[in-house]
Structure 1
Amino acid sequence: MVATRRAQQQRALTTRARLIEAAFDGLLEDGYAATTVGAVQARAGVARGTLLHHFPTRGDLMAGVVEDLVERRLEVLGTSLPAGPEVASWDEVVDLVWRALRSPAYTAALELWVAARTDPELRDALLPLQQRIFAAVHRSITLLVGEDHPQAPMLVQFTIDLLTGSHLAGVLEPRLGTDRVVEAWKVALRTLADAWDTDA
């Protein structure tokens, strides 16, 4: 009986993962408007009732995609840079954030956040996740550079905001000079970090 229940739970988890993966792929390839419940159902190869059992609404399904992006795809925050007592350099943090912004995970998340502006159901599904996600990402990056720097949270926020803006400006068409902006920010960030550390 216990083995049967575990097998059922495993099948349910596998089906849920397949649905999320199908929705994720749809967002990347076709955009939010085309990633309907029916399209995800067809892509995943499951019955409509099965999809609705796991995700009663489209908003629930997209919220599941966002949670997956945070829990699974953005694990890069904990694995890309040194672990333990060794901290990351500011240059490494800039590279990490820039790489994350150009990843498929961010592209899918961007589709959802833009759509949520005018989609009340999607907005209601994403709002409870938003602050938790932003706080978790910010906290993870801050920990990488060490908490002993007095202005680490502010410098991390500067980095995220500046690089996000640079990335969004080139979403439709790559902009010349963006790589130079990223490299220039590394220099400016090191200067700010050293100055504020000395002041403290």
Structure 2
Amino acid sequence: MPWEEENARRHVARTEELLSGLDTLPDNVASRRALECVEALVDLYGECLGRVMEHAASDEGGEALARRLAEDELVGHLLLVHDLHPDPADVRVRRAVEQIRPQLRSLGGDAELVETTDEAVRIRVQGGGRGCGSSPDVLEQTVRDAVGGAAPDAGRIDIETVQAAEPETLIPVDALFRSGTLTGRGAG
């Protein structure tokens, strides 16, 4: 029975915690052996996954199957680990930016992919500062998290922050006053 997404995320976090603790074990020989065992297992599973992707690609409709597999968050990340993801990094970056734009807009900002190269991704983030949780730092971190998650192989993430222009006032303040009083009040 497949895991629910939250259960999968918890398991990934626990696995990362266990793996990062291997090098802190007091017995260096056991620590190295455990790490070698994990690496061998990851390599083996990667080879198996590669063969699954090859078999899928050779069948009619294989491209659609590869796409569905890559769109699954857990499987997609596994494909990335083994350099088997069907989409290149620039496609995944572009998709990630488009997917978070509604969230950024709700925070008073926006993002635009400027350039992708082998070394870096350059993204322009605009806005911030209007309302709770809409600082430029929050917008930048939202972009970094989305792009880093979708394309960890994309290289450096360079973010150019542009402050949003102050919105023009619909009615100039001085138009509300006539002879020192508000229009429509106290003139009588």
Question: TM-score normalized by structure 1?
Answer: 0.28
Point out the structure with the larger strand share: 2
Q: Which one has a bigger Cα radius of gyration? A: 2
Question: Per chain length, whose mean CA-contact separation is higher, i.e. which structure has more relative contact order (CA < 8 Å, sep 6+)?
Answer: 1
Point out the structure with the larger helix share: 1
